[in-house]
């Protein structure tokens, strides 16, 4: 596989409620920002465009169609959409570059979760015959997972709180973060339980926002004359939907994707993990076999702000920008979808 360069990345602030701003208004600023970083004018200047979003956040069929309005797709463009996190839109674009049908691509993801009750809305992504009628929400599922881990002695509540404390502290340097600040493990553990054993801070916040990225061949990146990081490996895997058939204490599909993407082929300086719940960061660190030397979630991760459908792509963008800025040589980014980490995508990136 050829290396693919990430030349631009932008993300909006994670905000709890974007108010009257619609999806196009959320997307436009991040598109403008990546055009500026790349030195191009519009989506007309790339060979392919792909986005990720979810109709149910907007509560309307074809929610992504309005997104096309943000692109200036006149004359018509080569464009596609996944009903997934935009990290998978990146994957689709990466394939297009691998097959030689595109030299460059624009990827964006957006989500406005504020109009609905996201955890309950997402309960409708469960098996419609056996699980969805129970309205088990995402937090309840994650709580069961954390409970299993605590009972098996695989984690402690203090370790979960440590994840949160580090996220808030790291987020202090992230202008886009929604939750940040210095909190001690003791302070966190003194908080009441929310959905036992999870406390509110163990759960990611709900955010509105968008992010965008431009990728291209290495040749094109040189032509554009912009700094870049390269995707050395990328893979995604899914596992059974049935919670009862899975060992919830580990993430098999993350391990499989990590192996295929080549995570173990070198030291990992930086990792951004899409862990919407504190204990899931621990599961993912173990699945990726990250050492103590790896700086995990330097942005604060999604516990500091979680734009559904954009957060996965943002993890990849965060790592790429840090590598470009010289914060490390090699990084790993992870994206997830589905209840209790059912589906996972792993990207290995390198600085140039």
Partner 1 sequence: MAQLAAVVGVGQTKYKTKRGDVSIAGLVREAAQNALNDAQLTWDDIDAVILGKAPDMFEGVIMPELYLTDALGCNGKPMLRVHTAGSVGGSTAIVAASYVQSGVFKRILTVSFEKQSESNAMWALSNPQPFSPHLNAGAGGYFAPIIREYMRRSNAPYDAGIKVAVKDRLHGAKNPLAHLQLPEITMKEVEDSPMLWEPLRFLEACPSSDGACAMVIANEDLAEQSPGKPAWIRGAAMRSEPTMYAGREQVNPQAGRDCAKDVYKQAGIDNPRKDLDCAEVYVPFSWYEPMWLENLGFAEEGKGWELTMSGATSLLEGGDIPWNCSGGVLSSNPIGASGMIRFAEAAQQVRGEAGDHQVDGAKTALGHAYGGGAQFYSMWVVSSEKH
| Chain contacts with partner 1 (rule: CB under 8 A) | 1, 22, 49, 54-56, 58-66, 68-69, 71, 73-84, 88, 91-92, 95-96, 98-101, 121-122, 124-129, 132, 235-242, 252-253, 256, 337-339, 342-343
Shortest Cβ 209–partner 1 spacing (Å): 17
Question: Judged by CB, which is closer to partner 1: 150, or 252?
Answer: 252
Cis geometry, peptide bond prior to residue 197 (ω within 30 degrees of 0):
yes
Question: Judged by CB, which is closer to partner 1: 38, or 253?
Answer: 253
**Cα(182)–Cα(300) distance, integer angstroms:** 12
Cβ distance 53 to 24 under 8 Å?
no
**Cα(53)–Cα(27) distance, integer angstroms:** 11
Question: Judged by CB, which is closer to partner 1: 62, or 151?
Answer: 62
Question: Judged by CB, which is closer to partner 1: 54, or 323?
Answer: 54
Cβ of 145: how many Cβ atoms within 10 Å? 22
Shortest Cβ 185–partner 1 spacing (Å): 34
Neighbouring-strand partners of residue 327: none
Question: What does DSSP say about strands 229-238 and 208-217: parallel, antiparallel, or unpaired?
Answer: unpaired
Shortest Cβ 59–partner 1 spacing (Å): 7
**Cα(19)–Cα(25) distance, integer angstroms:** 11
Question: Comparing C-alpha atoms, which of 1, 101, 83, 84 is closest to residue 46?
Answer: 101
Shortest Cβ 35–partner 1 spacing (Å): 18
Q: By CB neighbour count within 10 A (0-12 exposed, 13-18 middle, 19+ buried), where does 30 fall?
A: buried
Cβ distance 316 to 335 under 8 Å?
yes
Shortest Cβ 26–partner 1 spacing (Å): 13
Question: Judged by CB, which is closer to partner 1: 101, or 173?
Answer: 101
Shortest Cβ 210–partner 1 spacing (Å): 16
Shortest Cβ 261–partner 1 spacing (Å): 11
Which segments within 202-289 are labelled E, that is strand?
Answer: 208-217, 229-238, 270-272
Question: Judged by CB, which is closer to partner 1: 121, or 204?
Answer: 121
Question: Judged by CB, which is closer to partner 1: 129, or 175?
Answer: 129
């Amino acid at each position: 596989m050829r290396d693919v360069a990430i030349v631009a990345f932008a993300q909006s602030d994670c905000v709890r409620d974007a108010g009257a701003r619609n999806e196009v208004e959320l997307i436009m600023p991040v598109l403008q920002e990546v055009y500026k970083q790349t030195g191009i004018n519009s989506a007309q200047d790339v060979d392919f465009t792909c986005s990720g979003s979810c109709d149910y956040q907007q509560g309307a069929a074809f929610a992504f169609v309005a997104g096309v309005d943000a692109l200036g797709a006149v004359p018509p463009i080569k464009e596609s959409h996944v009903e997934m996190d935009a990290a998978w839109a990146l994957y689709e674009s990466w394939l297009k570059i691998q097959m030689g049908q595109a030299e460059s691509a624009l990827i964006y993801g957006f989500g406005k979760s504020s109009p609905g009750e996201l955890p309950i809305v997402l309960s409708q992504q469960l098996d419609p015959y056996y699980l969805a009628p129970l309205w088990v929400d995402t937090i309840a599922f994650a709580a069961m997972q954390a409970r299993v881990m605590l009972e098996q002695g695989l984690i402690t509540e203090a370790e979960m709180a440590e994840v949160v404390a580090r996220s808030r502290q790291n987020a202090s340097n992230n202008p886009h973060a929604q939750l940040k600040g210095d909190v001690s493990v003791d302070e966190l553990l003194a908080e009441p339980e929310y959905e036992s054993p999870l406390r509110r801070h163990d759960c990611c916040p709900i955010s509105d926002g968008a992010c965008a990225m431009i990728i291209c061949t290495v040749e094109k990146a040189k032509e554009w004359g912009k700094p870049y990081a390269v995707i050395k490996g990328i893979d995604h895997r899914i596992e059974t939907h049935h919670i009862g058939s899975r060992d919830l204490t580990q993430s098999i599909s993350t391990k499989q994707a990590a192996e295929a993407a080549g995570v173990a082929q070198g030291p990992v300086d930086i990792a951004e993990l899409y862990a919407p719940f504190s204990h899931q960061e621990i599961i993912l660190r173990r699945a990726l076999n990250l050492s103590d030397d790896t700086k995990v979630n330097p942005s604060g991760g999604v516990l500091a702000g979680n734009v559904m459908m954009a957060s996965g792509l943002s993890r990849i963008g965060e790592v790429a920008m840090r590598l470009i800025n010289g914060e490390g040589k090699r990084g790993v980014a992870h994206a997830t979808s589905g209840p209790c980490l059912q589906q996972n995508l792993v990207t290995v990136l390198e600085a140039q």
